[in-house]
Amino acid sequence: MGQQVLSISQINAYIRSKMEADPMLGSVAVRGEISNYKVYPSGHHYFTLKDENAALKCVMFRGNAQHLRFKPDNGTKVIAMGSVSVYPRDGAYQLYCTAMVMDGVGDLHAAFEQLKEKLSAQGLFDPAHKKMIPKYPGTIGIITSEAGAAVHDMLRILRKRYPLTRVRLLPVRVQGAEAPGEIVAAIRYANYYKLADLLIVGRGGGSIEDLWAFNDEGVAHAIYASEIPVISAVGHEPDVTISDYVADLRAATPSNAAELAVPDCESLMQTLDSVQSALTSNMLRRIKNARVHLQTLSGSPALQSPVRYIAQKRNTLQLLSSKLINAEQKNVGTKKQRFIALTAKLDAMSPLKVLTRGYAIAQSVDNDSPLRSVEQVNIGDMVRVLLNDGQLDATVLDRRKIR
Amino acid sequence: MNQVNKTFEENMQRLEQIVRAMEHGDVPLEESLKLFREGTELVQSCGKLLDEAELHVKKIATDADGRPVEEDFNDEPVG
């Protein structure tokens, strides 16, 4: 027997080279149901794809597995892409899977990626185009189903956070063939009649098919064209739709959209509290500074002796004025003129420039000495207040010691 | 369109102005006392607006000419 005898390694290597030379096996897409799915600590995924009559071992290495857009599970129908080759150690062939999509939604994923790329190229996701969300929206338009839990979730949060706003609900269908058209119409209608300062467009969670209206090209353009800022609120946290990319702000969920749309009442109250205490402490500091300044001024000799000077002059003046009143035979008018002239002279001579600047000196009526403490007078006492242009005799109505 | 919210927004903006003005030291004492009084009144009125506000919810329907009309929306919390 001149036949060549091969080692196991040799025959497996031969078969492997044959398979790897085959163009079809080098790039296949296989439809089947996952079973026996295992993720090894190495990060590689091992599973079997089967149909009614047959099974195929598969491996997906960590580098490829981390790009999976879903969590594969036993029973999931999938389309697996990759190459078929031999694993020499076991002498078994298997699918070296490089990518895998859920069967049936694979088309949707492809369509999503295509549309995303197209709209991105058209500039619909441009951050420069995104509008500011108003800080205190007066009216929020909610475009969603009036039947779902999402609208109630949003209203509950808006009511709790910022009941100053008003809500206008524009009910639309959010899934099915009519949904995209209704959503587009509602966005345009709200803009045409200026129904809101802010729009929330979205729905609660669902399957990728349920959320599909928000991956619609028409909806994307309507959001882009909206003059009213739009918050997109579709599904749960991991769901990302085309609407999310186009909207001025993306919310993870409808509830989250309500949180992003308005300020929080409680933190506003805290802000008001801190504004009030800032105003108060600022005011107290200013008053304290002014008082220190006043003390410095009133303690200076320039103010101290002129007070005595003006008191003396005032006595003379009082004497003169009483003489005036008593002098029946004299010409009252002349005396009065003299009185006025004297007063003017006195004022002109007064170095009390500060009085012209709005300060006042309070004196005891009894001895004309300046008051320096509230304790020098009692409620009901008369005090004399010297102002720039004259004096006031005043009764003390109230007395508060501040310091 | 929503006077309560508009008032609130304007009050908050005025408050910000007042705080900025008072933090700047160059306002005369008399003027800052005026600002203080105004600010305190604004804080109180903003707090009152927040306390007393009630969320208005309306559903938009259309009349015969396609113009929007507001309808009541039964917004009983779920659960």
What's the complex ipTM?
Answer: 0.87
pLDDT at A148 over 90: no
Nearest chain B residue (CA) to A152: B77
Contacts of A171 in chain B (CB under 8 A): 59-60
First and final C-alpha spacing in chain A: 123
Nearest chain B residue (CA) to A158: B55
Is A335 or A376 the better-scoring residue by pLDDT? A376
Nearest chain B residue (CA) to A134: B9
pLDDT below 50 — which residues of chain B? 78-79
Check B32 against A155: CB less than 8 A apart.
Answer: no
**What pLDDT is attached to residue B79?**
43
CA A282 to chain centroid: 28
Token digits for A278?
A: 């800032």
Label residue A172 by pLDDT band (50, 70, 90).
very high
Check A167 against B58: CB less than 8 A apart.
Answer: yes
A39-46's contacts with Cβ under 8 Å and 24+ in sequence apart are A39/A65, A45/A72, A45/A97
Q: How many whole angstroms separate alpha carbon A160 and alpha carbon A265? A: 8
Q: Is B23 on the interface with A (CB under 8 A)?
A: yes
pLDDT digits (tens, 9 = 90+) for A23-33: 899 999 999 99
Q: Is A280 on the interface with B (CB under 8 A)?
A: yes
Q: How many whole angstroms separate alpha carbon A86 and alpha carbon B50? A: 72
Label residue A146 by pLDDT band (50, 70, 90).
very high
Q: Residue range A382-402: average pLDDT?
A: 86
Q: Which of A167, A269, A278 sits opposite B50 (nearest CB)?
A: A269
Residue at token pair 């105004």:
B38
Q: Which of A158, A171, A283 sits opposite B32 (nearest CB)?
A: A283
Q: What single-letter amino acid sits at A215?
A: N
Quick one: CATH architecture of A8-103? Beta Barrel (2.40)
Domain locations along chain A: 8-103, 124-263, 352-403
Token digits for A393?
A: 């005799």
Q: How many whole angstroms separate alpha carbon A87 and alpha carbon A8? A: 12
Torsion of CA A71, A74, A80, A84, to 10 degrees: 130
- Spatial contact of A54 and A31, defined as CB atoms under 8 Å apart: no
Contacts of B48 in chain A (CB under 8 A): none
CA A10 to chain centroid: 68
Instruction: DSSP for A326-382, please give it.
Output: H-SSS-HHHHHHHHHHHHHHHHHH---HHHHTT--EEEETTT-PBP--GGG--TT-E
Q: Is B21 on the interface with A (CB under 8 A)?
A: no
Contacts of B56 in chain A (CB under 8 A): 166-167
Q: Which residue in A132, A151, A156, A168 has the most chain B C-beta atoms within 10 A of its own C-beta, making it the best mutation to test that interface?
A: A168
Percentage of residues in chain A with pLDDT exceeding 70?
Answer: 92
**What pLDDT is attached to residue A350?**
62
Provide CB contacts within 8 A for A130, sequence distance 6+: A248, A249
Label residue A119 by pLDDT band (50, 70, 90).
very high
Alpha-carbon radius of gyration of chain B = 20
User: For the domain bounded by A124-263, which CATH number is listed?
Assistant: 3.40.50.2300
Instruction: Identify which of B73, B68, B78, B79 has the alpha carbon closest to the alpha carbon of residue B56.
Output: B73
